[in-house]
Amino acid sequence: MSDTEPAIVISTDELARRLQGDRPPHVVFVGDADVYASGHIPTAGRVDFADLNHAEPPASGLLPPMAVLGEVLGNAGIRPDQTVIAYDDSGGGRASRLVWTLHALGHWRAGILDGGLAAWREDGHPLTSGEPAPGAETAPYPAELRSPEVVAGEEYIREHLDEPGVCILDARSPAEYRGEDLRAARGGHIPGAVNVDWGDNRDPRRSGRLRPLDELDALYRSRGLRRDQEIVAHCQTHHRSSLSYVVLRHLGFEHVRGYAGSWSEWGNRPDTPVITGPEPLPPENGRDSGGAR
């Protein structure tokens, strides 16, 4: 790993080392102002998670308009020439949403801090409190959708539902996937979607850090994901599935998209196909064991 092209997941010790280097990355906390003020990584900027999301009913979790997004990123001190390391205090989904957003803008030098704020604190690295001192007015980030290949919409999924080279990854809980936990007008899952709860990416033995790479690889292989496929990750609003997006990139999957509208769009539309029930059967036994609605 070079100092100019970091891995998409970085350890606390590696970040601490690089912050002392000649070209330190720009660190950004994604979360609430009161958490940031109570203790944050020195020099870190902040993005409110809500500012990375835009609602157009029935969908929420969409990318904001580019002009709005440019102001949000600029206010956090993010510039196109920087390496950005995002972190949060809520399991990695918020930080990963910023990484996915930057990737969509063609800003590929972006990653997350493994374990976030809790890991940084546990490993004894310094924190500073309070709000940042007022500085010079920041310029808006020149936001433009330069990498549309990491974004998927409802129409894209409809067009690729029956393609074996495209896998829909549902990062919600199994109860949401089966249709038992209803968070939209309809419950269930997209036909053929594979369910890997976003929480399964984290290692309960390591203070919320990600599982080791070999365990993550085995997890996704056990669900039938292949590196030659295009993976489309979603949850309810592409919050949880943003962590899945980062993990798949971490594992070396090169063709990964995020469905920003996610189930807030698919489950609230009356004309989208929906399946209820458990995980799909293996391909040799049938496409899906649930019932279409």
Active site residues: 235
User: What stretch of H or E contains 174?
Assistant: helix 174-178
How far apart are alpha carbons 198 and 244 in whole angstroms? 6
CA gyration radius for the chain?
A: 19
- Please state, in angstroms and rounded to a whole number, the distance separating the CA atoms of residues 225 and 237: 22
Give the integer Cα–Cα distance in Å for 113 and 100. Answer: 14
Locus of tokens 């904001």: 64
HEC per residue, 57-105: CCEEEECCCHHHHHHHHHHCCCCCCCCEEEECCCCCHHHHHHHHHHHHC
C-alpha separations of 167 from 26, 97, 231, 255, 259 in Å:
34, 20, 5, 11, 12
Query: Is 70:132 a contact under the CB 8 Å cutoff?
Result: no
Burial of 29 (0-12, 13-18, 19+ CB in 10 A): buried
With CA atoms as reference, report the closest residue to 177 among 159, 160, 196: 196
Q: Which residues contact 235 (CB under 8 A, 6 or more apart)?
A: 170, 171, 172, 198, 241, 244, 262, 263
